[in-house]
Amino acid sequence: MNYLGIDIGGSNIAAAIMHSDYSVSGRAKVKVRKGISETEFCDDIAAAARAAAAEAGVSIADVEYCGIGCPGIISSRTGVLEYAGNLGFRKLPLGSEIGARLGVPVYVENDANCAALGEVWAGAAKGAESALMVTVGTGIGGGIVIHGKVYSGINGIAGEVGHMTLFPGGEQCACGRRGCWEVYASATALKRQTREAMQANPDSLMWNHAPDLDKVSGKTAFKAQRDGDAAAAQVVERYLYYLSEGLINCVNIFQPEVVCIGGGVSNEGDALLVPLREMVLRDCLSGENIRMPRIEAAQLSGEAGLIGAAMLGRSME
């Protein structure tokens, strides 16, 4: 069977024809154009879909359905994009608009939820009855999958773990609140913490990996830590503390079988995962007396959202 998956990001609309074994036979990518109308945006999505089908050598009519992962607040029951700040749209009936253009059933879900679903179907959480996906990037996104289905909550926005309050009255978050987890543990936060440490430590080896503050990345402190730099080690230790505190809250609330960490920071491997596992085990409620969730790096990288989107229809069976 052929399934059409579409992953809408901040810069690109990626589309792929996927099969039951998660193999891909056609791909296409279209740039997200800024300042365009809703009609033009939907036309671009449909164009990416048709290009992927053409690359695969199939007709859109040969596709069982189309699944779309999109950032923002999604009503998965109605297929309406309620709000997406980065895209600039409100109340866009994405499912019906794309369905009218392609002539196939369309399912729409939040992109973080699609990534979680992808990891459950084919990645680090494959076969798990319950999983939590935590994506660490510009912010912190979350997706919850229970018994193979996305848990969206009554408003379709469950899983926004990045906006749980870590420090009441703390640093300002872009959401308008203060002290949110993502203000302290996102990749954006890690880069800010790294820059602050570099400015306070002009002899730090972090400068070898980022000779200019504008070149600081989420990898900078981890690289310098491996070189034996004390200031970098402090940055990493503090960052892991912030990341672990949010994970402990998530584990206490959801008790998932698997927690998948996605985003660039997950590429740090054991330097990230080993201390995180130790911290969560130590401070989680009854940690040493219960079965602890596996904490793993996401395996599918940029493919998770596409696979999850392509599997949306099957997850609703």
DSSP 108: E
Sign, CA dihedral 259-265-271-275, equals negative
* Whether the predicted pLDDT of 218 surpasses 80: yes
71 pLDDT band, cuts 50/70/90, is confident
**pLDDT at residue 17 greater than cutoff 80:** yes
Give 287's pLDDT tier (boundaries 50, 70, 90): low
pLDDT of the residue at 21: 85
Class of the CATH-defined domain 127-297: alpha beta
Of the two residues 74 and 276, the one the predictor is more confident about is 276
- CATH 3.30.420.40 in the chain is located at 2-120+303-315, 127-297
pLDDT of residue 89: 87
State the amino acid at position 306 in one-letter form: L
Which pLDDT score is estimated for 316? 76
Q: What is the pLDDT of residue 213?
A: 97
pLDDT at position 288: 72
Least confident of 54-58, 82-86, 193-197: 82-86
Exposed e or buried b for every residue in 235-257, given b needs 16+ CB within 10 A? bbeebbebbbbbbbbbbeebebb
Distances (CA, A) of 215 to 188, 193, 240: 13, 14, 22
Instruction: Enumerate the β-bridge partners of residue 68.
Output: 6, 108
Identify the weakest region by mean pLDDT among 79-88, 100-109, 175-184.
79-88
Q: Is the sign of the CA dihedral 254, 260, 266, 268 positive or negative? A: positive
**Would you say residue 20 has pLDDT above 90?**
no
pLDDT of residue 175: 85
- Which residues 6+ apart lie within 8 Å of 138 measured at CB? 186, 187, 188
- The better pLDDT of the pair 152, 288 is held by 152
- pLDDT over 80 at 172, yes or no: yes
Alpha helices in 84-144 (DSSP H): 94-102, 111-122
2-120+303-315 in CATH: which number? 3.30.420.40
Least confident of 3-7, 134-138, 223-227: 134-138
Q: What are the C-alpha distances in Å from 160 to residues 132, 151, 202, 215? A: 11, 12, 37, 29
pLDDT in tens, 95-123: 999 999 999 999 999 888 999 999 999 99
Average pLDDT score over residue span 138-166: 90
How much is the pLDDT for 88? 82
Residues of the chain with pLDDT > 90, as a percent, come to 77
Give the Cα separation of 93 and 4 in Å (integer): 19
Grade residue 10 by pLDDT with cuts at 50, 70 and 90: confident
CA 53, CA 66: separation in Å to the nearest integer?
Answer: 11
Q: Give the pLDDT score at 251.
A: 95
pLDDT of 156 reads: 76
pLDDT category of residue 174 using cuts at 50, 70 and 90: confident
Note the pLDDT of residue 183: 96
Average pLDDT of the chain, as a whole number: 93
Lowest mean pLDDT among 44-58, 84-98, 190-204: 84-98
